[in-house]
C-alpha cells in the first residue's frame, strides 16, 4: 500500500469489482470479415466511436516523452472467481479484493484477458501476445495495464490457464485454483502512459493506458495452444492523432 491510499479506501474501491462487466453492445462483431475491425463503427450506433474517435487504441509506441510518472502499486490477490471463453478471448473475472494504485488514485481489478498477437507495438515491433488487466475506479474511469508476452521460460500460471481454458464460447465457469495475476507481471515496472480507448467495441475513450516496458516470458507451446483457439484476436494499430505518450 502506498502513502496516497489508506487500507480502508482501497477495500472500498475493490468492492466495485463485484458484479461489474464491460459492456460490448448488442451487435455481433469479430476480428475478420464483414464484422471485423474496419466495420465495427457501422455495426451498431453504440460502436460509432470505433470509427469517429480520436483517442483510439491500440497504438504503436514511438517517441515517448520521459516524465516523472508515479509508480504503479499492484495489490493483487490469488484466485479469480471464474474463467470465460466469450468468443473473443479467454477472460478471468475477479471478485473484490485486488486493486491497483497510481498517483493517488485507486482502481479495482475487474478482469484480465489475452490477445494474440499483441495489440500494442513498440517502435513498430509486435509481440506474440499481450495480457490486459482491466481496472475501474469510483468515477467509472478505467485503467488498463498491458503486459507484452514473448516466448521464453515457462510461466506456470499461464500454463495453468491454457490447460484449463474453455475450448468453446459459453457461460463463465469456475477457474482453476491458484491463479495468481502477479505471476503475469514482469519484474521491472517501468511503463508508457497515454489516453486511449477500449480495444473492442464499443471502443469507449475512457481508458488510462499503462503499458509495461518489459515483456513477460511464457512457453512457446502455450502461446501456440492459445493461438489454435484464437489465431488472431488483436485490433489493428490506430492513429495516435498527436497524442502525448509518456514513459517512466
What are the φ/ψ torsions at residue 100 (nearest 5 degrees)?
A: -130, 145
- For residues 188 and 186, give the distance between their C-alpha atoms in angstroms, rounded to a whole number: 6
Torsion angle defined by CA atoms of residues 150, 152, 155 and 159, in that order, rounded to the nearest 10 degrees: 80
Enter the C-alpha cell of residue 232.
488472431
The one catalytic residue among 39, 88, 121, 213 = 88
The answer to whether residue 135 is catalytic is: no
Rg (CA), the chain: 17
Residue 208 · residue 141 · CB < 8 Å: yes
- For residues 58 and 69, give the distance between their C-alpha atoms in angstroms, rounded to a whole number: 20
The per-residue DSSP string of 176-192 comes to PTT--GGGGS-S---EE
Could you report how far apart the first and last alpha carbons of the chain are, in Å? 20
What are the φ/ψ torsions at residue 88 (nearest 5 degrees)?
A: -115, -25
The CA-CA-CA angle for residues 105, 108, 113, to 5°, reads: 120
Checking DSSP bridges between strand 191-196 and strand 246-247, what pairing results, if any? Answer: antiparallel
DSSP state of 73: E
Residue 188 · residue 214 · CB < 8 Å: yes
Catalytic residue numbers, as ranges: 88
Amino acid at each position: 500500500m502506498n502513502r496516497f491510499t489508506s487500507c480502508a479506501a482501497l477495500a472500498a474501491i475493490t468492492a466495485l469489482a463485484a458484479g461489474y462487466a464491460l459492456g460490448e453492445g448488442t451487435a455481433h462483431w469479430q476480428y475478420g470479415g464483414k464484422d471485423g475491425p474496419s466495420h465495427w463503427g457501422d455495426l451498431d450506433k453504440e460502436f460509432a466511436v470505433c470509427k469517429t474517435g480520436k483517442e483510439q487504441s491500440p497504438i504503436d509506441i514511438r517517441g515517448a516523452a520521459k516524465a516523472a510518472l508515479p509508480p504503479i502499486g499492484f495489490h493483487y490477490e490469488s484466485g479469480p472467481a471464474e474463467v470465460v471463453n466469450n468468443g473473443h478471448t479467454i477472460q478471468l473475472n475477479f471478485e473484490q479484493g485486488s486493486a491497483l494504485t497510481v498517483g493517488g488514485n485507486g482502481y479495482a481489478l475487474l478482469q484480465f484477458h489475452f490477445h494474440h498477437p499483441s495489440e500494442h507495438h513498440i517502435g513498430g515491433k509486435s509481440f506474440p501476445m499481450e495480457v490486459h488487466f482491466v481496472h475501474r475506479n469510483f468515477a467509472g474511469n478505467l485503467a488498463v495495464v498491458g503486459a507484452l508476452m514473448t516466448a521464453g521460460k515457462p510461466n506456470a500460471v499461464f500454463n495453468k490457464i491454457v490447460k484449463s481454458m474453455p475450448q468453446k464460447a459459453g457461460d463463465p465457469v469456475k477457474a482453476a485454483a491458484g491463479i495468481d495475476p502477479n505471476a503475469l507481471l514482469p519484474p521491472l515496472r517501468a511503463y508508457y502512459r497515454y489516453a486511449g480507448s477500449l480495444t473492442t467495441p464499443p471502443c469507449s475513450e475512457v481508458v488510462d493506458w499503462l503499458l509495461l516496458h518489459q515483456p513477460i516470458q511464457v512457453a512457446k507451446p502455450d502461446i501456440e495452444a492459445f493461438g489454435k483457439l484464437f489465431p488472431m484476436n488483436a485490433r489493428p494499430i490506430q492513429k495516435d492523432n498527436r497524442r502525448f505518450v509518456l514513459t517512466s
